[in-house]
Amino acid sequence: MAELFHLSNGVRVFVDPMDGLESAALGVWVRAGAIDETPEESGVAHLLEHMAFKGTKTRTARRIAEEIENVGGYLNASTGYSRTGYYARVLRNDVGMALTLLADILTDPLLDETELAKEREVVIQEIGEAADAPEDAVMELIQTLCFQNHALGRPILGTVETVQSHTRTRLGGFMTKHYAPEDIIIAASGAVSAEDILRQSENLFGARAPVRRNSRTQRPQYIGGAEHDAREIEQTHIALAFPGAAVRDADFFATRIYSECLGGGMSSRIFQAVRDEREIAYSVYSFADSYNQTGVLGVYVGADAK
């Protein structure tokens, strides 16, 4: 049965042991993302996530990769608007090692200047790759139109200009400010012991001093608008969006169900109408993105330009 615990400094630990399994999934989620960035910091949360894997005071980047892969494990991370997650999948006997590794990259990253210079270029390539993908580009554009003049309207990756400006000091400052114990959740499920996870979490994360929780005071305002980006490509990519439900709204679940019925799969209404019946598009779906104070409901379609 799943249980929720609290460490002495406020870090939350959620453990869900599952009988009969020989593997486990575990991760550390931090209430820090693109929504917490100033315009100058755009992309810093994502770059910091990259740098976590580029070495700590006790492990090189190569050792981090080898330590998890030598036991057949998986280690990755992702950055969103509201959170950053670091997670692993390993066999039963390697859970302790994986949690130790996650703690090391989160609490003791080296943020080496040489590695940072390399990783800035990697992220710039990632930005270019997203810009070259029409579907990604139109979804980023619709997000910008929905939340103009707010962090939710800026790309998670940042821009080439902001990424080039990020320094070790800026990354470290963002981490100090936003990676607070009360904003951290450790979660483990599968072949895990609640007692072992709790004890190890206290040893690895319990020493982090409690700090004042980061307050997200600027309420996002849905604005909307229309814009097009003309390109010499074969298809036209269109996205439409409307105000949606925030995560704590009473109609949050109703909105999610509505989105699934509208365009969540091959049996959904717009898939049947647009692809199966009229055969005017290959890719069509709906989306419902929810944040703490607002949300977006919309549809996307990629069709022949005619």
- CA 304 to chain centroid, in Å, comes to 32
Listed residues 205, 221, 256: the one ending a domain: 205
Is residue 252 within 8 A of residue 290, CB to CB? The reply is yes
The verdict on 251 and 200 lying in the same domain is no
161-193 burial code (b ≥16 CB/10 A, e <16): ebbebbeeeebeebbeebbbbbbbbbbbbbbbe
Listed residues 155, 183, 205: the one ending a domain: 205
The verdict on 133 and 182 lying in the same domain is yes
The verdict on 177 and 290 lying in the same domain is no
Q: What local confidence, expressed as pLDDT, does residue 84 receive? A: 98
Q: Is 49 a catalytic residue?
A: yes
Q: How far apart are the C-alpha atoms of 299 and 180, rounded to whole Å? A: 36
Across the range 5-13, mean pLDDT stands at 96
- Is residue 226 in some structural domain? no
Q: What is the per-residue pLDDT across 223-276, written as a single tens digit (0 to 9) for each? A: 999 999 999 899 999 999 999 999 999 999 999 999 999 999 999 999 999 999
- Asked if pLDDT for residue 288 goes beyond 70, the answer is yes
Q: How far apart are the C-alpha atoms of 244 and 287, rounded to whole Å? A: 10
The verdict on 114 and 179 lying in the same domain is yes
The verdict on 32 and 86 lying in the same domain is yes
Is residue 147 within 8 A of residue 70, CB to CB? The reply is no
The verdict on 147 and 192 lying in the same domain is yes
Average pLDDT of the residues of the chain = 95
- Asked if pLDDT for residue 49 goes beyond 80, the answer is yes
Q: What is the per-residue pLDDT across 170-219, written as a single tens digit (0 to 9) for each? A: 999 999 999 999 999 999 999 999 999 999 999 999 987 676 665 665 78
The verdict on 249 and 189 lying in the same domain is no
The model's pTM: 0.93
- Asked if pLDDT for residue 3 goes beyond 90, the answer is yes
CATH of the domain at 279: 3.30.830.10
Q: Which of 3, 37, 40, 49 is catalytic?
A: 49
The verdict on 45 and 115 lying in the same domain is yes
Residues of the domain holding 267: 235-304
The verdict on 196 and 244 lying in the same domain is no
Instruction: Indicate the number of domains in the chain.
Output: 2
- Is residue 216 in some structural domain? no
